[in-house]
Amino acid sequence: MRTVLIIDDNPAVGEALSLLLSLHDIRPLTALTPEEGLATLERESVDVAIQDMNFTADTTSGEEGVELFRAIRQRHADLPLILLTAWTHLETAVELVKAGAADYLAKPWDDAKLLATVENLLELSESTREVNRTRLERRKRREALQRKYDLDGLVFASEAMARTLDLACQVARSDVPVLITGPNGAGKERIAAIVHANSAVRNGPFIAVNCGALPGELIEAELFGAEAGAYTGANKAREGRFELADGGTLFLDEIGNLPLPGQMKLLRVLETGQFERLGSGRTRKVKVRVLSATNADLKAMIRAGTFREDLYYRLNVIDVNLPPLSERIDDILPLAEYFLAGRAQLSDAAREALLAYAWPGNVRELKNAIERAALLAGAGPITPEQLNLPQITGAASVRNLDEPSREVVESALQKAEGVVSRAAQSLGLSRQALYRRMERYGLISQT
């Protein structure tokens, strides 16, 4: 049950507040001294605390309240605190709000305002606990993955990446082909390297070839090797990537760029482990774990006749999808800090800019932006200007037009009698989203 602790040396104050809170399904606890209040916090689960500023007769300095506030903050840093103060202590209360108190209310208080403040803080406390619980679960899952598998030092914090890694590492021990799908720059080769590191052939070579970076007439020679004179410029025999990867893993990036003759040879290697070098009639045999990746729509290519359907199903025994960075927002700041490597600090405005940007170039674009900003920042913190991110246009600009103004937010809060959950519902926002806008507009302490 939602619980509020009232710390006040006047029993009448505790009784009045207890009655008010009880009528709204809030469990009240009371303490007459700071020591009793601190002891109660140690043994009870409290969501919000309301504390007086003076506890000794004929004392009006507010120093006891400041000392209690600091003691609670030291032991329970996330506990929302409401200060009860006389107008003579207003400056002290304001200073404590700046130091982390949730709000202050003057004696005698207004029941409606106090109740609205408590309700909002209870909702915020619930949201904070949920966020902390989710973060803890994600951290435990990351740590479990890191203990169980070799993740090659990969930096991630998002649940989407955790799911991708979990699947990739689960299928790593088998010898079936794996197709890694996802946009350019998202890190498909890193996933392939992690699959190899956790496979039965991890002690063998890991050979990567980008099929999209080679001329079509050279791809077959790159993959299967060539004898001297097999093509113009082939002055001597050369091994292909399959021979180099024998006993290990071959990663074929941008597999959609492989021409049809090469696709036929690849299908044969996958089925039999056999192939011939260009210009040779001698059949060679290898044992290679094949991983492939693409950002292309292979099914559309099959319909267009540019990719073999039988090869697609041979490669796509397991599909590991790597989401774009825009769907892994929790990864953005950890990756940025990793790329910075302590060379500079990100300002709060730069962090907001990083999180607001869509990252069409994915992790590769983020790395380039951070490298550029680190060079320009010098001794100061990195600013959004140094990141040089393109301006948000198109759909994002349209969405900004729908952003509720300060007046709209104030009106919604007024109609909801200060209760954030009801105001958020009327605006079509989550509680957390409305809290962010209230903080932006400076409305937090007014409710």
What gap in Å lies between CA 224 and CA 103, rounded to an integer? Answer: 72
Closest CA to 377 of 340, 351, 348, 352: 340
Q: How far is CA 445 from each of CA 51, 99, 442, rounded to the nearest angstrom? A: 17, 13, 7
| Helix H or strand E encompassing 398 | helix 395-401
* Close Cβ partners of 86 (under 8 Å, ≥ 6 residues apart): 53, 60, 106, 107
- Give the residue ranges of DSSP H helices in 53-173: 63-75, 90-98, 111-148, 159-172
pLDDT digits (tens, 9 = 90+) for 287-297: 999 999 999 99
What gap in Å lies between CA 419 and CA 57, rounded to an integer? Answer: 36
Are 150 and 194 contacting, i.e. CB atoms less than 8 angstroms apart? yes
What gap in Å lies between CA 171 and CA 162, rounded to an integer? Answer: 14
Sign of CA dihedral 223, 229, 232, 238: positive
pLDDT at 396 over 70: no
31 phi/psi in degrees, rounded to 5: -145, 140
pLDDT digits (tens, 9 = 90+) for 342-387: 999 999 889 989 998 999 999 999 999 999 999 998 888 999 999 9
**Who has greater pLDDT, 163 or 212?**
163
Q: How many CB atoms lie within 10 A of CB 245?
A: 26
What gap in Å lies between CA 22 and CA 27, rounded to an integer? Answer: 6
Radius of gyration of the chain (CA): 31
pLDDT digits (tens, 9 = 90+) for 263-320: 998 999 989 989 888 888 899 999 999 999 999 999 999 999 999 999 999 999 999 9
Q: Tell me the pTM.
A: 0.69
**Who has greater pLDDT, 426 or 187?**
187
Are 290 and 250 contacting, i.e. CB atoms less than 8 angstroms apart? yes
DSSP state of 230: S
- Confidence grade of residue 106 (pLDDT, cut at 50, 70, 90): confident
Of the listed ranges 32-36, 50-54, 117-121, 398-402, the least confidently predicted one is: 398-402
Are 195 and 189 contacting, i.e. CB atoms less than 8 angstroms apart? no
pLDDT digits (tens, 9 = 90+) for 435-445: 767 766 767 54
